Structures are given as C-alpha cells and as structure tokens.
Structure 1
Amino acid sequence: MASVTPSADSAHAMSDRALRRRLLATTPGNRQAVLLTAAATALGAAAVVGQGLALAAALTRAFQGRSVTVAALCCLAAVAVRAAASRIRARVAERAAAATQLRLRTDLLTATARTGPYASRRPAGETATLLTRGVDALDPYLAGYLPQAAVAALVPPAVTVAVLLHDPLSGVVLLVTLPLIPLFGALVGLHTRDATARQWSALARLGGHFLDALRGLGTLRVFGRTAAQEEIVADTAGRHRRATQRTLRITFLSTLVLETAATLSIALIAVPVGLRLLGGSLGLYTALVVLLLVPEAFGPLRALGSRFHAGAEGLAAARAAFAVMDAAEEHGGTVTDLPAPARIDVEHVTVVLPGRSEPVLHDVSFTIRAGERVALTGPSGSGKSTLLALLLGLLTPTEGRVLVDGDDLATVDLEAWRRHLAWVPQRPHLFDRTVAENIRLGRPDACDEAVEQAARAAVAHEFISAMPHGYRTRLGARGAGLSAGQRQRVALSRAFLRDAPLLLLDEPTAGLDADSEQTLLAASARLMRGRTVLLVAHRPALLHGADRHLEVSAGTVRELTLR
C-alpha cells in the first residue's frame, strides 16, 4: 500500500472532488471512458434488477409447479448482460487507468526535469518514490475504486426503487439503513487519510535515505560511517513498518465495521419479511424479490468500502503529483526574446531552502556583464551551487530577483533561457550510450568533425581515440569505465559543442592533475572567448584569465581584486 502526501499548499487545499475532476481531465480519452463506464454501469444495474425479478419468478413458478422456462431464460439473459457490462466496465477502466498513469508519469518527469530538485522542494528519493510507487497507487484507484463508485451510485437506487414498488415497508427500511454504510465509511475515511499520509511520509523518507546512502556508499566506506547509515535506514524502515501496520489495522477494522452494519441492515429487512411471509400477509414472489434484491443494494457499497483505502491512496498520489506539476508551472515565464550573450544582474537576493531556518544566501547583489569571465570561489557549503541553481532557473529567490538583460528570470521562459546556456556540474551525468552520443546530448545534429573539435578543446580527444572503438565506444551506466577526470572532460566536450553564449562551470577541472589542468585551460581559452563564463573555482589556476573574482562566504558575495 502506498500513498503520497501533498507537497504544496495549493495541491493540499484542493478538494477531493476538484482533484478527481483534474485527474480525469489528464487524458482526453477519459471523458469517453467515463460515459462508457456510466452506460455499462446503468445497463448492469438494470440487469441486476432484472436478474432478481426473473429468479424470484422462476422460484415462485417452480414452487407452484408451473413452467419456469421463460423465467429461467430471462434470468440467464440478465446474468449474461450483467457479466458483459461488468467486463466492459473493467476493460474501459483498465485502459483509462493505464493511459492516465502514462500521461501523469510523463508530465511528472517533464516537470521534474524542468524545475530540478531545488524547485520541486523534495529530495531525489521522494521524487523517485512518487514516480514509481506513487503513480502505481493510482491503478487500484482508477481501475478499481472509481468504477466501483459508479456501481455504488447506480445499483442501490435502482434496487431500492424495485423494492419500494414491490414492498413499500421493506423499501422504507432499506432507505433508512442504506445510508449507514457510506456514513460509517466517511467516518473511517477521515482517520484513514491521516494514516495513509503518515505511511507515505515514512516511505518517502526511507526512499530518500536509501538513495542517498547508495550514492554516497563509497564515501561512507572510506570514512567508516556505513554502520551509522545502516542504523538510520533501519530506524526509518521501522517507522515505515509501524505506519503500514497502523494503516492495515484501520483497513481490517473498517471492513469489519462496514460488514457488520450491512449484515445487521439486511437482517432488519429479512427477518420481518420472513415473519410476514409465514403470517400470510406477504406473497412468496414479493418476499423472494425483496430477499434477492436487498443484498444487491448493500453489495456495491460494501465493495466500495473495502476499496476506500485504495481510493485514499490514489487521491494522495494524484495530489502530490499535481503539486510537483504546479510548481513547474509557477516556475516559468513567457519572455522568449533574449539577447545572446546577456547581462545578468542579481539584486538583493535571499534564499532560504526547505528545512533550514538560516538563509543560504542573504541580500546578495552583483552583476555579470556580457562576455565576462567571472570566477566564483568560497568554502564548501557557502552557497556557490545555490547561485548556479538560481542562474539555471532551478531555484527562485525567497527575496530579491535575478535579471536577464532587464527581464526578471521568473518571467522568462525556462526552455528559451536554457537554450542560451551550457552547464557542467561537479559530478556530470553520462548515459549508457556511446561517447559521441554523450557529447552530442546538447546538440544532437552536430557532425563528427564538430564533436571531435569539442573533444580536442576539452583535452578529451586523445583518451577517446585510445578507446577500443573511439567515439563509438559504448559507456556503462553513469560513465562506468572512465575515470572521474575523463568523465569531466567528456562533459566539458558536451558543453563546448553546445556553443551556448553562457557557460556555467562548477569545478570544471576536478579530477585532473596540474599538467592536464593547464593543458585544458589553454585549449579551451579560444572557445570561451566571446562567451559569458561563470566558473566555480577552488584551484588557483582557474583564476588566471578571469576578468573578475567573486568570493562567496557565509551567504554573502564580495568582489576581490585579481592579482
């Protein structure tokens, strides 16, 4: 069982009804699926009533010694129609659920790629859990709960009308007792929603801790911290286990409550019917109609109650998914006409990250003029990566603004802005593709000559040529088979090939020795000429050739004089 807690206030405030409407509007075909499901359900409701009436007539005629052929054929026809309607409803719901999950997962991936981890306000482990277990939780909701909700909305009223027409007294009792099932279900549901939210919160933390531990396993082993991390993961897993057990207890208890209520309600109708039948005040056919149809009225509501938890989990998953997509929508603008290169002004920017009380950056202001090469230095954790995230559009300032040639970056279309820049992070990601395909990532239409030229500028051509198949050598996942310095040079080749007017380089020479670093800087100087370059530097060699030197310290930025 997996459910997802909201991660944005707007999504959290959305009512369940509005959330369902938005979820059904995710895929255009859902409207037709709803209409077809409603038609199949209505046909099934009519078949339920017809089956009960035909079976009651057949039993009555058999008891009286009369022919039951016609009544039996009608009963078989009703059973066939009911089965066909149920099959159609299930197939339509399954297809609609699969299409909705695919569309939602695609939109989630797009939103996550657009905003990045900073704007989504959730760790990578939680995002991965949402994309997998979270979206999967929609399957029992869309394919099970919603179709059953349609059955529960149509079958009980149809059965109640039929019972009222044949025995008004039993019909009145049915009208009084039938609402008890959804009433008890709603009361249980108020507690269920909180329990499933706590369960997902524990699962998301477990996923985040486990993913972080896997990523830093090498570092943890070097510093002998694997045992401590094991304890953290074990503690988080224990919390998730306890939350799951609490949710299961609620599920079993709520099912017991609903079954007990339904059984007692049926008994309140069946016992008087039996007594009236023995007393002669009620005919056999009418008694059989009531006894056969009343369980059919409670059956869909009992089934809906048993699937209520799947419904709560599915709605929670949808709420979190839409929260991520809403964050992506709020994170982009409409301005697309941008100069290349552009002047960048950071004005009184303060950034407070989630979970932290102290700002990472406080009242930061500086300017990067078009064509400048600016070196950014400072100790680890001082806010250098946060500044890069601001310029990449992955993070919006808590206060202040970032201007691109006079336009607030919050109003600039992120896709248009990112076409003007190339970024090389500290640990670049390489894909399970050939070396050439990894370099072409930012410019897929580049020719082989351009790829080789970019590799030469990044001092990567020699080691690539020495590989078994040269540029057609297939790399392993995350660049397996290459050293850290070689992965860095492949990423730099990718950035140089992109030919963007703005280069954002986070420790571009990490993993290189001093000689390779000097060779790389000399070879790439020509390609950097005329571009705006902001590079995070820890090594003194990166400061040579820079036009300006900015130092980040304790969340503030000051300009230093280059020696």
Structure 2
Amino acid sequence: MRSTPPTTEWQLTGLTRRVSGWLAAAIGLGGLAAVLFVWQLSTLAQLVDSLTFKGQGLSTLRGEFLKTFLLCAASLSLQWVADMAGTHAGLRISTAVQQDGIAHIFKAGPVGCATQATGQLVTTLTESTAALTPYFAQYLPRAAMMVILPLLILGVTLHLDSWSFIVLLCTGPLVPVFMALVGYSAQAIMDRQWVNLVIMGASFLDNLTGLRTLRLFAQTQSSAARMAAQTEAHRSATFAVMRVAFLTSAVLEFFASLSIALVAVLFGARLLHGTVDFRSAFLVLLLAPEYFMPLRAFSASYHAKQNATAAAKRLSALFALPTTIQPRANKPERQNKVQATLLTCAPFSVAYQGATPQLSSLETRFQVGGLSILSGESGAGKTTFLRATLGFLPLPEGSLKFYDAKGQSLPPDTCRMAWLPQKPLMVFGSIAQNLRLAAPTASQMQLEKACAQADILEFINSLPDGFNTFIGDRGSLLSGGQLKRLALARALLGNPDVLCLDEPTANLDAQSAGHIIQTLLHCAKTRIVIAATHDARLSAHAAQIMLVENGQIFPLSAEQKVAS
C-alpha cells in the first residue's frame, strides 16, 4: 500500500504538481496548435484576397489550397492530442486520489474514521474525486490557452492594424475581470451545494441502515420528508450555480459582440475610404472572434474550478483523519507456523489522537489455557484496551510482546489477531461469502470445521441451501445468537493466535449465551482469548479477571473474583 502524501498535497496546487508533465504536454501542444491555426487563417485570407481582388485562377492557387488544408489538419490533430493529454491528467489524478483516499481510510482505521459519517466518506471518495477530472482535463489547459491564443492574435493584429489592436486590447481584459466578480459569489454557492450533497448522501445511507427503527417509531414519512427537503435544497443550489454560469456567459458574449462589431465598423469605414487593404481587414475580422474563443471555453469550464475547489476541501478533511494503525499483510507468514501462547503488555498507556492517556497499566499477561476476562463499568476503557491490542490505537508508551511456548519472542506483525465486536458486521451475501471474508481461499472442509468449533454447523446444514443461504442485509435474516456464532466461526477460520471479543453474550438468551461460552472455553485451550464483558455467566468460567477502573488495569485476586 502506497504511502499517503502530506495533507497539504490535497490542495489543488499540490495535486497539480503530481501531473505537471501531462499538463505541460497539453498546454505545449495546445499552444503549437494555436500557432498553426493563426497561420491557417493568414493563408486563408491570402487565398481569398488572391481570388477576389488579384484575379488569380483556381489552378494557380493549388499550392495555397493544399497548404491551408494541411495547416487545418495539423492544427486539429495537435489540439486533439492536447485534449487527450489533459483528459489523461484528470483521470490519473482522480484515480490516484481515490486510491490514496481508500488507503488513508484503512490507515485511519475504525477509530480514526469514527468522526465522519459513512455516507460522507462515500460521497467524498466518489463525487469529490470525480469533480477533480474536469478541473485538470478542461479548466487548466483552457486557462493557459486563454493567455496564449489572445496574445498571439494581439501580436498579429498589431502588425496588421493598430486601431484594431487597441480595440481588442481594451475589451479583452474586461471579460476576466467581470468573470472574477461573478465567480467570487459563485464559489460560496458551490460550497453550499457540496455541503447539501454530503448531507443528503449521509442521511440517505443512515435512513437505509435504520429503516427498521424508523418504521418501528412510525417515522418513515417524516424521514422521507426530510430527504425530500434535502434533495430540494441541493436542487436549488445546483440551479443557483447554473444561473451564475449563464450570467457569466452573457457577460462574455456582450463584450465579445461589442468588440467584434466595433472592429467591423472601423474597417468598413476605412475600406470605403481606401485607407486599408482587404487582406488585412479580412484577416483581422477572422481573428477577432477567435480572440474571444478561449475566453468562451474558459467561461464554460469555470464551474469545474469551483467544483474542484469545494471537492478539495472535502478531500482535505478526509486526509486530515488521524492515522491510528499501520498497514500490514493480510496473511502474515511465520517460519514453522509457531503459535503465540503468551501476550504481555509492558508498562503502557493508551490514548486517542491528540488526547490525554485514557488507560494505563504496569503489566498485564494473557496466555493460552484459560479464558481472560476484562471487567469494569461501561466507559472504563475495556473496548479501548481491545482496540489497542488489535492495533487500532497506537501506544504512546510501552508495547505489546508475543511469545511462543518456548518463551521465544515473536514479531507482533506475524501474530494473527481476530476480533468479534458487540455488533458483528455481515455483508449482503451468502453464509459462505461472509465466512470467506476471513480466508478467501478457504475450502468447504475448512468452513465446516470453523463452524463446528463455533457450534453453528448443525444449524447451517439444516438450511435448504446450506452454506449458500443468503443472510440478508447485515445478517438481518439471522437471530442474534446465530449472528454471533457465525461471526465467531469467521474469526476462527483465520486460526488466530489472539481472539478478542467485546460483549460476546450481550443481548442473548440463556441457551445462545451458553453455546457461546462453551465455544470460547474450547477456543481458550489452544489460543489466547480475551473478552470484555459484564456477563456474570461468562466471568464465572474465567481463568483470570482483569479489572478496568479509573484508567488502570489490574488483576483480581481469588477473593476478589469470588466477591465479584
């Protein structure tokens, strides 16, 4: 997984540097195409002048016709290649930013991403990254051409006619000035549009996730009304942006038409008095509309810059998420597949990003052979400790150390970890597909073995489709006990050295809780099992109980176990 650049690199200037070569090629080829285009118009003016006023026949001007055709073909070809280079730059940036965004989310982990709604992250990774493509493919090359072609035309016009040069020089700069004035207010509208889009995406996903709760409290109609209001707000913001775009185009067309008309009137009067030749007048009148053409193209793509600016703000917020975990291989390999049998936590502290330490301990030991229980009040730090053990939170002080049965130290990155949260996540798919999230290449025999260890194989075999049974969205077709045991089977499928569980028996009936307890006791014979729980039924089978209280972790004595 690639390293993520600093947060400042996600500003538009930083992103531009990443594709500067492609942009330079697009601008350079576009500039060369502009030179050939002006040369083509000059040849065309000479050809018309020769045919109309110099009495030359078509047969004597075959070379001029061929030259005009070749210049036109070369100009169009170079402009096409320049457009392809700009498009390639935009696509490269969009793809790279999306990949880096996904990589950063994995580095931030579940703790780092907890401050942003899932819908907001999805909208940022899709809509925001897509909004970058037009900025690099259209806006930047057109902004460069807005300088190159007008300057080239001004130079040719100055050589041909000073009055036309003065008219174009005075009217041309008025267009960017008025566009800047209009665009200043348009950026605020665009920012509001992006905020409405993010809110709408997050709300829609939340409504889908909590549809059962909304229906239970008879709030589906009010939820639909809120979604309709958010959609209307986004529609209004979009139309506001479009109104600004039309206003910008109207301003541009007004000044362009006024300038061209003024040049035409001046040339008409001077042609009548014989003070200017036809070729110069015809060429300037051909160049005058093209003088404003890059400004028109730039105006049409100006909204791409506003979109990209708003998108860059969302991306900066995403890449500002703290990185709480370090990426490692999905399936680390060890020599001789030695298993960790002891986990020690030397004097350590656990803290969330930028916060004071939430948890500390002198020394904690977890080993194979018995169930280890984390006990304490809600909010004492049990889940925080499990997150640190799994690598979701960094340890500002101290470290976790693993040892094999011979007492030899094992690298932490080679120790397999498994996690069973209080609310296990199941994807929409079959039982087998959900199990293979832990081991994509697992055979049917391995699936059955893991399910047998989790005491759910008999239930799966009783289903008409067995392991091919679909379990619905987030496992909605399973009961709480079945969902917990299926998640436990998925955790065991990876043959973990350390199995961490958060309230594994919460909200389960006595029979389902009993199945889970017996399964954990069986697992604890061959691996380290750490469970955070308030359940006295589970604590009664513990080999050791660690109390989490007042930011400290310490083992309970035998008398304290009995009292608890």
- With the shorter chain as reference, the TM-score category is 0.7 to 0.9
2:243 counterpart residue number: 249
1:462 counterpart residue number: 458
Between 382-391 and 239-248, the greater mean CA deviation after superposition: 382-391
TM-score with structure 2 setting the length: 0.80
Out of 264, 274, 281, the residue aligned to residue 275 of structure 2 is 281
1:343 counterpart residue number: 344
Shift in Å, 1:41: 1.1
Letter in 2 for 1:156: P
Out of 528, 533, 541, the residue aligned to residue 545 of structure 1 is 541
Q: 1:281 to 1:14 in 2, by over 3 A?
A: farther
Following the alignment from structure 1 to structure 2, what is the Cα–Cα distance between the partners of residues 454 and 14?
Answer: 44
Shift in Å, 1:493: 1.0
Shift in Å, 1:90: 3.3
Contact 2:350 2:393 (8 Å CA) reproduced? no
2:94 counterpart residue number: 101
Shift in Å, 1:101: 2.9
Residues 478-512 of structure 1 show CA distances to partners (whole Å, capped at 9, x for unaligned) of 44644443232221112122233333323323564
Q: Based on CA coordinates, which of the two structures has the bigger radius of gyration?
A: 2
Pair 1:18 & 2:8 matched: no
Shift in Å, 1:241: 3.4
Residues 222-245 of structure 1 show CA distances to partners (whole Å, capped at 9, x for unaligned) of 133334434443443343334333
Contact 1:552 1:558 (8 Å CA) reproduced? yes
Pair 1:152 & 2:146 matched: yes
Pair 1:79 & 2:72 matched: yes
Shift in Å, 1:34: 3.4
Helix, strand or coil: the match of 1:441? Answer: coil
Between 124-133 and 232-241, the greater mean CA deviation after superposition: 232-241
Q: Which has the higher contact order (CA 8 A, sep 6+)?
A: 1
Between 73-82 and 192-201, the greater mean CA deviation after superposition: 73-82
Following the alignment from structure 1 to structure 2, what is the Cα–Cα distance between the partners of residues 13 and 247?
Answer: 27
Out of 509, 516, 540, the residue aligned to residue 512 of structure 2 is 516
> What is the RMSD of the two structures over their aligned residues, measured on CA atoms?
3.9
Shift in Å, 1:130: 1.5
Out of 33, 37, 43, the residue aligned to residue 32 of structure 2 is 43
Shift in Å, 1:289: 1.3
Q: Which runs of 5+ in 1 are unaligned?
A: 1-9, 26-30, 354-358, 408-414
Q: 1:454 to 1:42 in 2, by over 3 A?
A: same
Contact 2:108 2:324 (8 Å CA) reproduced? no
Residues 238-287 of structure 1 show CA distances to partners (whole Å, capped at 9, x for unaligned) of 43334333323322222223333333444454443333333332211111
Shift in Å, 1:201: 1.1
Pair 1:428 & 2:417 matched: no
Residues 49-97 of structure 1 show CA distances to partners (whole Å, capped at 9, x for unaligned) of 0232122223322331433544444333333233323333334444443
1:374 counterpart residue number: 373
Shift in Å, 1:461: 1.3
Shift in Å, 1:513: 2.8
Following the alignment from structure 1 to structure 2, what is the Cα–Cα distance between the partners of residues 268 and 330?
Answer: 65
Q: 1:434 to 1:202 in 2, by over 3 A?
A: closer
Letter in 1 for 2:37: V
Pair 1:195 & 2:189 matched: yes
TM-score with structure 1 setting the length: 0.80
Map 1:307-322 onto structure 2 (within 5 A): 307-321=301-315
**Equivalent pairs, count:** 530
Shift in Å, 1:15: 5.4
Between 171-180 and 104-113, the greater mean CA deviation after superposition: 171-180
Between 241-250 and 42-51, the greater mean CA deviation after superposition: 241-250
Following the alignment from structure 2 to structure 1, what is the Cα–Cα distance between the partners of residues 533 and 351?
Answer: 22
Shift in Å, 1:216: 0.6
Q: Which runs of 5+ in 2 are unaligned?
A: 1-5, 403-410
Letter in 2 for 1:55: L
Helix, strand or coil: the match of 2:202? Answer: helix
Letter in 2 for 1:427: K
Between 542-551 and 332-341, the greater mean CA deviation after superposition: 332-341
Pair 1:116 & 2:112 matched: no
Q: 1:244 to 1:145 in 2, by over 3 A?
A: same
